[in-house]
Structure 1
Amino acid sequence: MPTQTFFNLPGTKRQRLIDAGFTVFSHASLADASVSEIVRLAKISRGSFYQYFSDKTDLYFYLLGQLREAWAADTIGTLRRHEGDLFATVRELAEAAFTDLSQGPYREFYRMLFLSFSYRGSVQVDDEWTAHYRAQHRIRTNWSQMVDTKRLNVNSDDQLHTLVHMLFGVFAQNVARYFNEAADATDTAVADRYRQNMLTMIDWLQHGVEKETQEER
């Protein structure tokens, strides 16, 4: 978590450090990123950096938290607008997020995030981000209270959370496959293919895959 000294910086200097972090983490994984490169781009001393953040991991999760906080706010607003309809919410959020990740200003940051980690590493990142996020008392989505479970075949909060993880797993899987195949943001055909594949998989989770037989009809 950033120190209060970081938040006391003038806005332009604080933004310069944020921009430097995004630039470095867009070209190197968390493990390979260099504090020296961050401070060079931010035009600050190495000593100053450690007055603001405990290490590069601290900066990384602060940046990730800034992006995910906006997603959390969108999730809450979209759930309310769809009156707790989980699948309508996830479809809208997943399409918007896929477009943002594949074409938005932080595409390379996300590409490095998705391509740098194995499953084990991704779990570690998620656990560490969650700890950072909670420590800063950021916005969180209370799925159990906001989702209309009468629409769903779930019998407990644990089952609901499992379903939510499955749905966002579908999103993450297709984003990772897109980044693995697409050379850059101009590969719109690749993006369209994996976006549609994502929506198909969400439909399968909602409606099932197996067709009805003549007898069942």
Structure 2
Amino acid sequence: MKKVPTKTYFNLSEEKQSRLVAAAAEEFSRVPLNEASINNIIKKAEISRGSFYQYFADKEDLYYYYLSLLKQDTQKMLLDSFKKAKGNLFEGYRLFFPAVLTLIMDEEHSDFFKHMFLHMDYRTGKEVTPDTAKHLETERKSDHPLKKHIDMEKLKLTDSEDFSMLIKFLMTTLFGTIGEGFYKKHSKEEIISAFNKKIDWIEYGLEKN
């Protein structure tokens, strides 16, 4: 089950919520999640350890809440990209990638995302994915929420599960390209070029005609 802050947290004043989020941002930008210190967070936020556990179950809970705040715009960005691409799945991802990369590489958040992508695990990958691009386990695979935004006639898919598999593959490619870019300290332009090359391979294949 996806964790969220407790009701007690949302009963706090906006100033106190902002102070705690700012403390989380600073700590999770300093080090990756597994090295982050609750002591540093509560000291910066000026709250007690007991108060912290009234708001969040653990540091992972706070981490993924902070991530959810940062990714709020990504779902609209993804759908807008498919709209501009007139339902073309691959062109939509070509448009989406530079937009989401700009968000990720923004100076204010770049250290947080660098740690996240260099230490990404299965759960983090699911949490960072725009909600529309996720396959919800409670739905039939044939009812993937993105389908209504895509021109399905252009895709050579034969099985009802193929679309979900394709979206997961594309998101894995997207995340992997960003992580590789951070690791190799590539420029934004180099990362975009690498992603577009991979999308071309997926869309057109590598076999010569």
Deviation at 1:175, TM superposition (A): 0.8
Distance change >3 Å, CA 139–CA 98, structure 1 → 2: closer
Give 2:132's match in structure 1, choosing from 129, 133, 140.
140
Over aligned residue pairs, what C-alpha RMSD do you find? Answer: 2.2
Match for residue 136 of structure 2? none
Q: Does 1:108 align with 2:126?
A: no
Q: Does 1:210 align with 2:197?
A: no
Q: Give percent identity, aligned residues only.
A: 28
Give the deviation of 1:68 after TM superposition: 2.6
**Structure 1 stretches of 4+ moved >4 Å:** none
2:18 to 11, 15, 18: 15
CA shift for structure 1 position 90: 0.7
CA distance in 2, matches of 1:169, 1:195: 15
TM-score, length of structure 2 as denominator length: 0.84
Determine the C-alpha separation between the residues in 2 that align with 1:102 and 1:113.
Answer: 12
Tell me how far apart the structure 1 counterparts of residues 14 and 87 of structure 2 sit (CA, whole Å). 38
Return the match for 2:51 from 35, 48, 53.
Answer: 48
C-alpha contact (below 8 Å) 1:111/1:179 kept by paired residues:
yes
Query: In the aligned structure 1, how far is the partner of 2:64 from the partner of 2:160?
Result: 28
Instruction: Give ranges in structure 2 of 5+ residues lacking alignment.
Output: 134-144
- For 1:69 and 1:99, the matched residues in 2 are separated by 14
Higher relative contact order structure (alpha carbons within 8 Å, sequence separation ≥ 6) = 1
* Correspondence for 2:33: 30
Residue 77 (structure 1) aligned with residue 87 (structure 2): no
Q: Deviations over 1:132-185 (max 9, x none)?
A: x9xxxx953412332221111112342112211222222212111111122xxx
Contact 1:73-1:139 within 8 A present in 2 as well: no
Q: Say if 2:132 and 2:146, in contact at 8 Å, map to a contact too.
A: no
Q: Does 1:176 align with 2:173?
A: no
Matched, 1:200 2:197: yes
TM-score normalised by structure 1 residue count: 0.81
Give the CA deviation at 1:27: 1.5
